[in-house]
Each structure stands twice: as structure tokens, then as C-alpha cells.
Structure 1
């Protein structure tokens, strides 16, 4: 069986997260710089050899510069010490009513198992011959499981965000085409 490699189209993929602020409203943020690489058996995503997703913490954007600066600071994500978060897929469960991707999420060098719900959106071949597939991915974590906590009372007062963080990703993967090896004559 041949291995097929896929990468996320950075212009057509996004990862957003939601939590509460002051227990009054939901806030949404994005990771603007993401990378996703997938290796599958042929084009079968239920038979994958590897899934690695990373997001650069400094690309975090909640549309509030003060809040973003705090979230990136040593008091929370500590992006200078831990510049990326990483998910490594371990197992894909395909069932009648929902698909799940089981893997490990690492934030601040703390790794925890998580389960993601996955929905296949479709497959297309573009006019230039490039094959693309789409997926929606949903999950939830408790930020305290990854030491994403306020470090002082002043931090707590400025933050006041919920412990449960849900995230959604709309991912468009592009199939990598292997270039033929040119033979010299």
C-alpha cells in the first residue's frame, strides 16, 4: 500500500477556541499560524500513519490586544518558553454516528490524552488536479489540566476566563503530489 501525505491549506484552514469571560459572555480566539501534516494509507483517513498538528502561541488572536498579551505572557501560555502547542493523533475510530480521533495534546510541556469529534466535509479535485478534502474537528479541554492558570491575584483579576475551553477547526487538506524523478539520458 502506498502512503499518501497531506498538509493543511493555511489560507483555507482555521482553528478557533471559545470560553467565557467574566462569566458573562463567550469569547472567541484564533490561532493564526497552524501546521497540520497527515500520512494515510492511500486516501483512507481511517488508516493513518501519522497526524501532527501545531499552532504557534504567538499567533493567538482574541481581538483584544491587552488580553492577547496576557495570554501569551509568562503568567499563562508563556509563549517565549513554550512557543507551540502540539497534537499527535494516535487512533481514528470510525463509527456510524460519529468519528473520533484519539491523541495527545501538549501545551507547556504537559501532555494529556484527548478525544476529538471529526466530521468529513467532502473531497474535491480542483481544475489543476490538486486533491483536497475537508474536515470539521471539535473538542474540549480544561485549561487547568495544562497549567493555564493565573499565577497571582492580580492575574486572576485581569483574566477571569472559564476553565472549560472548546475548540473548533475547519481544515482543508491538500494531497501532496510526488514529483517524478527525472532520468538523465
Structure 2
């Protein structure tokens, strides 16, 4: 097994949610760690995958909103500072993969499946192998205890229930 590191300057873990039922708010987590080991990363079915995100690093480009997301109304970062994901099953799906695992947000763990696209393998100008992957899933935030909302005068709610998560990764063999 080879250990791979995430090149965080060329990777992102982001999300989007409906705002006021008419537009989307996008954000990302700036600080995270990953443990990816595989016999051959061109065949993701050989991999062991674990991620841990620092919730306080959430960034939606709005400090007031970010602070609200860190509060007890949402993530409660003082008590639940991390989000974790551990893959439990990886299946090949044509040229792509289905990566299922345990996602823990706050004190709730649920199984989620990411649709993963293998972007390919290359060698950077410094002779290091580079592997690219994109992963997406959708989940109901309320399933993880993220239930705060506000009713709108015109009907509907301020924050949508469905969260789209998009992960873009560039991985390199550990030195």
C-alpha cells in the first residue's frame, strides 16, 4: 500500500445550498486532513480513505454567515469541531466509482455515497505523480441535526434542506 497526500493548493472541499429558495450559497472548508492509501490509485477499489474537516474553517465569503454556521444554531464548533468521513465500500461504476462511507457531522453518523470521477494521472514538472478525482453527493442537512431555519414572508424558508457536496482532489504519493 502506498500513502497519498492531498495537494491542498490544488484541491477543494465545497458545498452549496439553496438560499431563499431562489439562489445558491456556496462555501468550502479551508482546513482538512486526509489519509488515502492504495495499492494502485488508478484503481480506487484498492483504496482506504479517511477525511477530517475542521468545521471552524468554513468559508462562504461572508463573515457574519460563517459565524452563524459555527454557532449552536448549526455546527456548534465549540462542541463538534470536526466533520469526518471514512470509506466503507468502493465500487467501480463504469469508468467511475461509488464511494460509500460513514459521514459524521456533530454527533450524527450516517452512510453516504459519493459519485467519484477519476480525472487521470500525470507527472508534474518536478517529476511527482499526480492523480485527480472529483466526488459529489447530496444530503439532507436535517438528517445530521442541522435544523435551524427561518420562514420567509413570501412563503418558503431561508435555507434549503439539501446540501450538495463537491470534492476536488489532487493526490500525490507521500514522499
Asked if Structure 1 and Structure 2 have the same fold, meaning a TM-score greater than 0.5 normalized by the shorter chain, the answer is yes
Question: Which secondary structure state, in structure 2, belongs to the residue aligned with residue 46 of structure 1?
Answer: helix
- Is 1:167 aligned to residue 165 of structure 2? yes
Q: How many residues align?
A: 170
Encode CA deviations 1:54-113: one digit per residue, 9 max, x unaligned.
111111111121111111001110011111101101111102264110101000021000
> Aligned partners of 2:159 and 2:86: how far apart in 1?
27
Which has the larger Rg?
A: 1
Q: Deviations over 1:124-152 (max 9, x none)?
A: 122333211000000011000100112xx
In the alignment, is residue 156 of structure 1 matched against residue 134 of structure 2? no
**Aligned partner of residue 11 in structure 1, secondary structure:** helix
Of 34, 38, 54, the residue aligned with 1:36 is 34
Separation in 2, partners of 1:156, 1:56: 26
Please, what is the CA RMSD of the aligned residues? 1.7
State how 1:101-112 maps to structure 2 within 5 Å: 101-112=99-110
1:10–1:35 CA contact under 8 A, matched in 2: no
- Listed as ranges, the gaps of 5+ residues in structure 2 are none
Q: What is the TM-score of this pair, normalised by structure 2?
A: 0.91
Compute the TM-score of the two structures, normalised by the length of structure 1: 0.86
1:141-152 to 2 correspondences below 5 Å: 141-150=139-148
Structure 1 gap ranges (5+): 178-185
